[in-house]
Amino acid sequence: MPKFSLKSYARRKLDYLRYRIDQYFSSRFALQIFIAFLLVLVALGMFYLAALFLDVDPNDQLSLLWWVSNHMLDSYWVETGLAEQVLATLLTLFSFLVFATVIGLVASKMQLRLESMKYGVSTIYERNHIVIIGWSAKVFSIMSELQEGLEHEHPVFAILTQQDPEEIEKVLKRKFKPYRRSKQRQSFRRVKWIVRQGSPTSIDDLEMLSLHRARAVIVLHPDASGFTGDSQVIKTVMAVRNVLSGHDDHPVKTLIAEIESLALKPQVEAAAADLPVHIIQSADLLGKIILQAARQKSLVDVYEELLTHAGNEFYHVPVPGTSPLIGKTWAEIVSAFPAAIPVGIRKSGTPVDRSPHNGLLLLPGNQQDLALEEGDLLVVIAPDATAAREITEPRGMTPPVRVSGDDVAIPKQQVVSSLLVLGYNEKALPMLQEFAGYAQDIDRKFFAMLVSPMLPSNITQMLSASSIEREAISGHLDIAYRHEEYMLPEYLDALDLERFNAVVVLGEHGPGASIEDADTRVIMTLLLLRHARRTFPPTINDAHAHQQVVYEILDPANKQLALTSEYAEDVIISNNIISNLIAQICRDPLISDIIEDLLDREGAEIYLKPVSRYGTSVNMTFESILNASLVRNEIAIGIAYPRENASGRCIIINPPRETRAPNTPNTYVIVLAETEL
């Protein structure tokens, strides 16, 4: 325990007082006026007590208060005699000079202080705040998601940026301005933030953020900076570790670092040392999500709900020694949750052989050796923490009739075996590598075509970086590269679009281009694809109707504009997905393992399968569908059906058990399964 020092204690108290003064000067004008009024009242009270102690001779206490007030506001005296009047005049002029000098000094000092406030010079004195190091478009989504997910804690956000804090303040105020006099929009709760300007790799600048008192520290990857950005993230993590090394009792639960290159993960872990770091490999994660969305329609909507705090999300439920779930089968455990759906187990003792993610096992099935024990955690999907912990007595579920091909005509699931990728960015490589892995899993030959004027010359070597990827690509994936400008109508016509099961449009931008430029290319490409479809014969258009089209938008503001192209419905908003994932990990760091498991083709994944696979009734309840999915070693987590008078599908995650799903070809069950067949 460090030795107590009166000098250091006094310095900390002075720093705290300076921080609160800075907060006062950065507060709203009405609050400043109110505090100033309180200070005047305090001064008036002090002078009143002094006059009362010196026995000034007014008529009564009310007159005394009036006398003190007048002498505070007026320097005029009623004197007799020429000498007294001259002296009073000189004193009055001298008082004017003194007060003018003092006011000038105070005003200039306040002006300098206000100017310095723009650059954030004082140490932040907050507790359990969330520190965001770096600035990108993801900041808005992270703050809004955490404000929604941590609504009972009212988090404070401390942002360190190299940009002008005044401009950042304007952007944040415009983004989180409450909606007023609007019946269609709900007012957003006030978001509290503190902006400091400094270098993310500077230890002195990081000291201002009070990292040792923070709940979580988020290190964002700079926009459009590639390897240089990853290097800055690694150096920032090292600086954060250096700052926290002097505070053994720091409560930091989570350090989140965003990088692009998967190969630099060991360096980030080494830089964090003993800190609990969670590495977000944005390019790898987004590449896998885009590919999964290309393989299954409406999967984007499923991920959007699971990764936001507005609907259902993942929760960890502890298993105490008195839990009635201990020793029960998986079917009995599922039956005990009336408002949540258990999807996995996280063992606290011996690691699970099939789980590389800290004892996590999604889709555990009925294995007796994985029965719940005290200290384990159940992974459930629920709308809130209360519903996640609501447990009833486990009951036996009626064994459903196993549906087979002899019982009902089950539509075959179309496997996406041909993929067209228009555009190139850092997500293309992990997406194609994962595509080759799926082909290898079912021992088939897939085909992919990558078209972009910005293809790197060594893309073949980049795609086959490891021996595993080289084997999967060489044996199970044929790739054609076209270094062409695909935004020309005559070139799109020559691609034979109808031969591809899925089309992916990536947001690409060259050196010096902005996010807006990338989104503009995507929207223009969608318009060209729509024009090409209208010129095709009806037979080819029928094939296009079943063709899955996924496109990537970087700025959420362009989503609605892209939807007006009427060519594709599944849109990937890259910045939002990464922001939502970061917010989920801030709320519960263990969710990182769940997302990695879901996106790993070796484990359980989310699929949309025809409802006819789970029963023969005309209208089946979700409880019967859930029961039937357990027999197939799957877990039903929702249903999807066509929207009325609109395109796309309506997605319902964790519906009430009595909800009925029509047994039609257009109704699907959202399941967690190990295979799409």
Which tens digits make up the pLDDT trace of 510-519?
Answer: 666 677 888 8
Phi, psi of 303 (to 5 degrees): -65, -35
Poorest-confidence range of 101-110, 203-212, 282-291, 431-440?
101-110
Predicted confidence band at 447 (pLDDT cuts at 50, 70, 90)?
Answer: very high
> Which CATH fold would you assign to the domain 418-545?
Rossmann fold (3.40.50)
Structure tokens at 399: 């064994």
> Please, which residues bridge with residue 489 across strands?
none
Q: How many angstroms separate the CA atoms of 591 and 354, rounded?
A: 18
Where in the chain are all domains bearing CATH 3.40.50.720? Answer: 130-176+187-275
Q: Is the pLDDT of residue 456 over 90?
A: no
Structure tokens of 477? 């994936």
The radius of gyration of the chain's CA atoms, rounded to the nearest angstrom, is 32
Phi, then psi, of 141 in degrees rounded to 5 = -65, -40
How does residue 182 score in pLDDT terms, banded at 50, 70 and 90? very low
Dist CA 241 CA 612 (whole Å): 54
Rounded-to-integer distance, Cα 282 and Cα 267, Å = 16
Mean pLDDT of the chain: 78
What tokens appear for 597 in the block? 């498991």
CA angle 216, 218, 220 (to 5 degrees): 175
Q: Other CB atoms closer than 10 Å to residue 660's CB: what's the count?
A: 15
Predicted confidence band at 419 (pLDDT cuts at 50, 70, 90)?
very high
Task: Dump strand ranges (E) for 39-138.
Answer: 130-133
Q: Which residues contact 542 (CB under 8 A, 6 or more apart)?
A: none
DSSP 8-state symbol, 410: P
Q: Please name the residue that has the structure tokens 């505090």.
A: 35
What band does 234 get if pLDDT is binned at 50, 70 and 90? very high
Q: Is the pLDDT of residue 407 over 60?
A: no
* Distance from C-alpha of 258 to C-alpha of 579, rounded to nearest angstrom: 10
**Cα(640)–Cα(652) distance, integer angstroms:** 6
636 pLDDT exceeds 90?
yes
Kindly list the distances between the CA atom of residue 484 and the CA atoms of 67, 118, 253, 481, 503, in Å, as whole numbers in the listed order. 88, 47, 48, 9, 17
Phi, psi angle pair for 635, to nearest 5°:
-135, 115
The per-residue pLDDT for range 82-128, each reduced to its tens digit, is: 554 554 455 555 555 555 655 665 666 566 666 665 556 678 888 88
Q: pLDDT tens-digit profile of 32-73?
A: 556 656 666 666 676 667 656 656 555 666 666 665 555 555
Homologous superfamily assigned to 130-176+187-275:
NAD(P)-binding Rossmann-like Domain (3.40.50.720)
Mean pLDDT to the nearest integer, 290-319: 87
Query: Which range, of 15-19, 541-545, 611-615, 617-621, averages the lowest pLDDT?
Result: 541-545
